[in-house]
């Protein structure tokens, strides 16, 4: 075989190998791939995935932190915040000194058949994108929580957009209310581009 033909065959072989490698790499990418640990689908497409607690089981309430969200002029109400980030919420009506996500409905206004509790939201300055907020009771009846975030709601699913702050270096902040049907254990699912997080609270 002449030297020119050898060069052509080597080129063809290299092209075939590169093509096979490309096809194999593409076949490893599935629709369920993740981005920072979250499903790749749009936040609007994620299902509400909250547990149902057996009768008599104790409510596994979330524990908040007082050192994550900084003190900034446009952020007000309770210094205790719940969530793993990039989004956090506060339970304004919580009065006990502990950091458990639990509060009494005794002094919460009762409006339109439910208790309207103030629940402000924040997100870190680095997060930019949609935030979808939903929730329900973790009992068998699965009663929905309703949310009103500024001009949106009240409804069982609210979508807001970050950033929402006076300047890029500040945390985003939203004034908000949550309608709680009554005493019980509840879950809130927070969907962002980077993850899905769940906060569980108890209303007594």
Of the candidates 50, 192, 189, the one whose C-alpha atom is nearest the C-alpha of residue 128 is: 192
Claim to verify: residue 7 and residue 54 sit in the same structural domain = no
Claim to verify: residue 65 and residue 152 sit in the same structural domain = yes
CATH code, domain carrying 161: 2.60.40.2550
195 burial type by CB count under 10 A (0-12 exposed, 13-18 middle, 19+ buried) = middle
In the predicted structure, residue 88 carries a pLDDT above the cut 60: yes
Give this prediction's pTM: 0.79
Claim to verify: residue 51 and residue 26 sit in the same structural domain = no
Q: Which domain holds residue 18?
A: 1-30
Claim to verify: residue 25 and residue 40 sit in the same structural domain = no
Residue linked to tokens 């300047």: 167
The span from the CA of 134 to the CA of 6, in Å, is 65
pLDDT tens for 124-166 read 999 999 999 999 999 999 999 999 998 878 999 999 999 999 9
Claim to verify: residue 144 and residue 99 sit in the same structural domain = yes
Claim to verify: residue 136 and residue 112 sit in the same structural domain = yes
pLDDT tens for 161-203 read 999 999 999 999 999 999 999 999 999 999 999 999 999 999 9
How many Cβ atoms sit within 10 Å of the Cβ of residue 149? 22
Claim to verify: residue 12 and residue 73 sit in the same structural domain = no
pLDDT tens for 1-57 read 554 444 433 433 444 333 333 333 333 332 222 335 444 468 989 999 999 999 999
In the predicted structure, residue 59 carries a pLDDT above the cut 50: yes
Q: What pLDDT, on a 0 to 100 scale, did the predictor assign at position 26? A: 34
Claim to verify: residue 10 and residue 70 sit in the same structural domain = no
* Number of structural domains in the chain: 2
- Quote the percentage of the chain above a pLDDT of 90: 73
Of the candidates 79, 77, 85, 68, the one whose C-alpha atom is nearest the C-alpha of residue 162 is: 85
Claim to verify: residue 78 and residue 172 sit in the same structural domain = yes
């Amino acid at each position: 075989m002449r030297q020119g033909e050898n060069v052509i065959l080597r080129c063809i072989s290299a092209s075939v190998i590169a093509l096979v490698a490309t096809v194999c790499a593409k076949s490893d990418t599935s629709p369920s791939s993740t981005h920072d640990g979250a499903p790749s689908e749009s936040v609007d497409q994620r299902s509400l995935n909250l547990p149902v607690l057996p009768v008599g089981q104790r409510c596994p309430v979330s524990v908040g932190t007082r050192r994550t969200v900084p003190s900034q002029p446009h952020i007000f109400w309770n210094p205790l915040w719940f969530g793993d980030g990039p989004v956090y919420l506060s339970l304004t009506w919580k009065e006990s000194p502990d950091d458990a996500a639990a509060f009494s409905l005794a002094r919460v206004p009762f409006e339109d058949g439910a208790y309207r509790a103030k629940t402000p939201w924040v997100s870190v300055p680095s997060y930019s994108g949609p935030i979808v907020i939903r929730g329900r009771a973790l009992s068998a009846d699965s009663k929905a929580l309703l949310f009103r975030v500024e001009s949106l709601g009240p409804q069982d699913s609210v979508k807001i957009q970050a950033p929402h702050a006076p300047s890029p270096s500040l945390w985003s902040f939203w004034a908000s209310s949550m309608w709680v049907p009554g005493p019980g254990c509840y879950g809130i699912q927070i969907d962002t581009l980077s993850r899905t997080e769940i906060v569980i609270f108890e209303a007594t």
